[in-house]
Structure 1
Amino acid sequence: MFDQSPFECRVEWGKRGAREAAERCDITIVVDVLSFSSTVVSAVNKGAIIYPYPPNLDGHLYAKNLGADYILGRKEAAIIGRPTLSPVSFNEQHANQKYVLSSLNGAFCSWIATKVPALLIGSLLNYSAVARIAKRLKHETKANITVIPCGELWNEIRENEDGLRPSIEDYLGAGAILSELSGTKSPEAEVCIGAYEHSKDRISELVWECGSGRELREKGYEADVIHCSQMNKYQTVPILRNGSFVDASNLGYATKKG
């Protein structure tokens, strides 16, 4: 049976990886650089309250019950001036407002992993800060850590084909976080770190030109790709509490080096 159980720090892909991490009760870090993770980090940095929700359930009803806004797709929300899955759509005006955010990858993985000892959101924007919080939680809980690069989904999946499309931006984001974690690393984690270490001086270029980056750019969201490629822009670390992501610093977890 496949697992990385001898090691304290692991890396697993997508929804199945999130389920495996939840069943092991690992501290879990969800990484979906383009764009769920980057959007949650950016929104929480501006003070917004984000509820992750899978897209196959009724997010509108869930949002109504919470007294929250259900975040629409980029095009629909932009027309009426509301925040979207685009991380640059959030600003200080959205502080203390509740939003339900669905996505096929990051939100779904987060929803699957809601019962873990701690669920954190990581990205290139906050990789050092999220690693520091994860290390502290590991010390407090004695739990291991699994980093989940979410990947993308193939369009027009045919019979007997897998839906998951691994994505380099999530792999590099996961590698950046893993590179700053302490504890034994699985071979899978070591290779992920190696990919990041080899590429770290070209991250923005690689994300700009990768398949996911080109897809967003061709749809007119160049600003999203540029924003999501920034390294350690924020000290904000979203952590799930009572169904929503809040900044770990609000719970007494220092996110800055000190």
Structure 2
Amino acid sequence: MFDQSPYECCLEWGERGAREAAERGDIVVIVDVLSFSSTVVTALHYGAVVYPHPKDDGLRAFADRHGADIIIGRAEAARAGNPTLSPVTFGPAHAGRRFVLCSLNGAVCARIGSVAPALLVGCLLNASAAAREADRLRAASGANVTVVACGEKWEAPRPGENGLRPAVEDYLGAGAILSALGGSRSPEAEVCVGAFRHAEARIAPLVTDCGSGRELAGKGCADDVRHCARLDVYATVPVLDRERFVVAASRGR
């Protein structure tokens, strides 16, 4: 059986990885650099309230129950002057406002991993802070930590093909967090840390020029890519508290 549980710090990929980690009882850190994790971190930095939710038939009822606005597509929201999955659309004016944030990767992995004893959101922007909070929770609970690189989805996979597309930006974001964690690392986590340390001095150009970065820039969102490619800009660590993300220090209040 594939299992990293002898180690205190582990790496998994995608939805299955989030489920496996949560069912093991691990502390889960969701990493979706472009853009779910970076958007959640930025939004909470400015005081917004974010509820993750898959894009499904229950979305409208969920938003209505929480009195929250649904974050819609970038182009449509931009025309309306509302924030989007783009992190740079959030600012001080959104403090205290409630938003439901959907994405094909990060929001889905967060929902799947929500049964974990603690679920955090990490990215390049808050890598060191996310690691400190995960270490604090690990010391308090004795649980292992699994960092989940969400990856992307292939468009129109053929029958029998896996839809997960590993994403270098998520691997580097996961490596940044794992490199700052205490505790023993699985071989999978150790190799991920090695990739980050090799790339650390060139993080911004690598994320900008990787496939996901070029794809997003080609859609007119180059500012998003530049924002998400920065390392340790924020000390904000989102943690899932029932159905919404709160800043780690305020969990349970």
User: Considering the TM-score relative to the shorter chain, is it more than 0.5?
Assistant: yes
In structure 2, relative to structure 1, the CA distance for the partners of 1:146 and 1:57 (3 Å cut) is: farther
Matched residue SS, 2:216: helix
Matched residue SS, 1:179: helix
Residue 194 of structure 2 is matched in structure 1 by 194
**Which range moved further: 237-246 or 51-60?**
51-60
Residue 146 of structure 2 is matched in structure 1 by 146
**Which range moved further: 119-128 or 47-56?**
47-56
Q: Give the superposition deviation at 1:251.
A: 4.0
TM-score (norm 2): 0.98
Which amino acid in the other structure matches residue 60 of structure 2? H
Which amino acid in the other structure matches residue 79 of structure 1? R
Q: Is the CA contact 1:236–1:249 (under 8 Å) kept in the aligned structure 2?
A: no
Q: Is the CA contact 2:239–2:251 (under 8 Å) kept in the aligned structure 1?
A: no
Distance in 2 of aligned mates of 1:57 and 1:48? 24
Q: Give the superposition deviation at 1:105.
A: 0.2
Correspondence 1:161 to 2:144: no
Residue 114 of structure 1 is matched in structure 2 by 114
**Structure 1 vs Structure 2 CA RMSD:** 1.0
Residue 3 of structure 2 is matched in structure 1 by 3
Q: Give the superposition deviation at 1:242.
A: 1.9
- Per-residue CA deviation, residues 40-61 of structure 1 (Å, 9 max, x unaligned), is 0000000001000012343122
Map 1:5-84 → 2, pairs under 5 A = 5-84=5-84
Which amino acid in the other structure matches residue 125 of structure 1? L
Using the aligned pairs only, state the percent identity. 58
Matched residue SS, 1:30: strand
Aligned residues: 252
- Structure 1 residue runs of 4 or more that deviate by more than 4 Å after TM superposition: none
Matched residue SS, 1:56: coil
Map 1:115-134 → 2, pairs under 5 A = 115-134=115-134
TM-score (norm 1): 0.96
Which amino acid in the other structure matches residue 111 of structure 1? R
Q: Give the superposition deviation at 1:66.
A: 1.0
Q: Is the CA contact 1:124–1:231 (under 8 Å) kept in the aligned structure 2?
A: yes
Distance in 2 of aligned mates of 1:69 and 1:242? 18
Any gaps of 5 or more consecutive residues in structure 1? 253-258
Any gaps of 5 or more consecutive residues in structure 2? none
Which amino acid in the other structure matches residue 151 of structure 1? G
